[in-house]
Structure 1
Amino acid sequence: MEFLEIPERTSGKRTYGLTSVIDLGTPIEELRNILNDFSHIIDIAKIGIGTAYITPNFQNKVNLYKKHNIKVYCGGTFFEKCYYQNKIPEYATYLHKLGIEWIEVSSGTLDIPIEERLNLIHLLKKDFHVIAEVGSKDASKEMTISEWKEEIQLLLDAGCKYVITEGRDSGTSGIYEKNGKIKSCLISELLEDIDSQKIIFEAPTPKHQMYFINEIGPNVNLGNVKMNDVLVLEAQRCGLRCETFYLEDQICKLPL
């Protein structure tokens, strides 16, 4: 029985309000139990770093995600390893054989020029839904706000379905300072010119997630969510945690 007034959430086959989990080696039986209970609040699964290449019975894991209508793709580090070794055609064949329809193009470890990434997207979007990532995993590499905006817009214009803002699974680079503090000025500037429904903000901790929910709303796209935090995140989105307690009041006061 539902009786509380809570923020309205997107549902079903969502195009925004996405929860993208990071799978860093979840055993398949454990995953099966998690998805039996929580698949309705998981939209995307990123098989983190390069673990897909060495995961036992990886096909079974891909099939399990797809059975629950969850989009699955391999993390950008795997893509960059293939790029570094000139194996992108082999990588595409590998994904096709697994039935994976999504691919990430990133430059988090390698410094792949934006022009080269755009060329790759042009080729890959013929066969895949492309997600691109902006930002470096090296916290010492800073991008200006204008560079962030320009890259994100170029990637969207090139045909990417979504653009991810780098944050790592630790929340210590990209849109975060080394100490984990969110670069709030950067986020505010991005939201001025770019449709937030097309951005997936990497937010690996509840603290990071709460910031984006309060800043953008319950239907913000969030990535690098830990598997065990999925239900807690949904509670936050619904105003059922102290830090998002008054969320529905804030939404009601927004101008039409």
Structure 2
Amino acid sequence: MDFLNLPKRTKKNRIYGLTSIADFGIPIGQLQSILEDYSSFIDIAKIGIGTAYVTPNIKEKIALYKEHNIKPYFGGTLFEKCFYQKKISEYIATLHALGIEWIEISTGTLNIPLPERLSLIRQLKEEFHCIAEVGSKDANNTMSIADWKNELECLLNAGCEYVITEGRDSGTSGIYEKTGEIKSNLIQELIQDLDTKKIIFEAPTAKHQMYFINEIGPNVNLGNIKLQDVLILETERLGLRSETFFLEDLACKLP
């Protein structure tokens, strides 16, 4: 069907308007079936937390994502585990061996000082496309708005292609309150002063997704999307759900 006036969506290969899914261990056969129908809506696949380390047929899963023009990478928790055990060189060698071209530098569990993360990014950007994450998985560990802005700016200036705002798969930390409520004052400050095309907002629930779509536009970058929600999210982006019904009036917010 192609007769409605809908918000204009970016197309693959997108550089913004990204949908980044979280793969927490979906079997490869099931994944293949989903990608056959919905791969055009997916840009990035995070093989979440540390599951990549124990995923059966990991090479085949990586190849499947690449076959469907989706960029796979390993979750930041695995990076942090390697950092903690001083195994970064082994981690890098493994990523190269598996054909992984993207790497996440995060500090969700460990408190890795910003200068150390920036140094790693400056080194690794010669070998990988770098993504960094800002914010803690610990809901009690809060940051000021000024610190959020500073980290995002520093990480982008160091060479990150995108920076993720922490939200967890539960939507209860980072840019969210423990209750799951969005820290709207923080978000408004971030979108006012920073290039939102370079920020991936973790938005694991429909409520979170629709907030960002309505505030920023249909081509906001969203992460931690469940595979089963990919089609629903695209529907939301196109103003085909009640909560985003009048989205065509907001499409100019982000080209």
Partner of 1:206: 206
Per the alignment, residue 151 of structure 1 pairs with: 151
Partner of 1:123: 123
Q: What aligned pairs does 1:75-224 form with structure 2 within 5 A after superposition?
A: 75-224=75-224
What is the alpha-carbon distance in structure 2 between the residues aligned to residue 105 and residue 39 of structure 1? 26
SS at 1:14 equivalent? coil
Mapped contact 2:136–2:166 kept (Cα < 8 A): yes
Give, in whole Å, the separation in 2 of the partners of 1:128 and 1:91: 13
Whole-Å separation in 2 of the counterparts to 1:104 and 1:10: 24
**CA–CA distance in structure 2, aligned partners of residues 19 and 246 of structure 1:** 21
1:251, CA displacement in angstroms? Answer: 3.2
- For the residues of structure 1 that align with 2:12 and 2:164, how far apart are their CA atoms? 22
Letter in 2 for 1:129: H
- Give the letter aligned to residue 4 of structure 1: L
Match of 2:29 in 1: 29
Q: CA deviation at 1:250?
A: 3.2
The equivalent residue for 1:233 is 233
Q: Could you say what secondary structure the match of 1:39 adopts?
A: helix
* Aligned-partner Cα distance in 1 for 2:219–2:8: 8
What is the DSSP-based 3-state SS (H/G/I as helix, E as strand, rest coil) of the residue aligned with 1:213? helix
- Counterpart-to-counterpart distance in 2, 1:250 and 1:86: 47
Whole-Å separation in 2 of the counterparts to 1:140 and 1:211: 23
- Give the Cα separation in 2 of the matches to 1:50 and 1:37: 27
CA distance in 1, matches of 2:159, 2:123: 11
Paired with 1:107 and 1:239, the residues of 2 have a C-alpha distance of 35
| TM-aligned CA deviation for residue 66 of structure 1 | 0.3
Task: State the 1:193 CA deviation.
Answer: 1.1
How many residues were matched structurally?
Answer: 255
Which consecutive residues of structure 1, in runs of 5 or more, have no partner in the other structure?
Answer: none
Q: Deviations over 1:56-104 (max 9, x none)?
A: 0100000000000100000000000000000001000000000000000
TM-score (normalizing by structure 2) = 0.98
- State the shift of 1:132 in Å: 0.2
- 2:51: which partner in 1? 51
Q: What is the CA–CA distance in structure 2 between the aligned matches of 1:53 and 1:123, rounded to whole Å? A: 23
| Aligned residue type for 1:250 | L
| Equivalences for residues 57-72 of structure 1 within 5 A | 57-72=57-72
Residues 157-183 of structure 1, C-alpha deviations (whole Å, 9 max, x = no match): 000000000000000000000000000
1:118-150: CA deviation from partner (whole Å, max 9, x where unpaired):
011111111000000000000000100000000
1:37-64 per-residue CA deviation (whole Å, 9 max, x = no partner) reads 0000000000000000000010000000
1:218 shift after superposition: 0.1
| Structure 2 unmatched runs, 5+ | none
Query: Equivalents in 2 of 1:250, 1:97: separation in Å?
Result: 44
Find runs of 4+ consecutive structure 1 residues off by over 4 angstroms.
none
TM-score (normalizing by structure 1): 0.98
1: CA distance between counterparts of 2:95 and 2:112?
Answer: 21
Q: How far apart are residue 192 of structure 1 and its match? A: 1.3
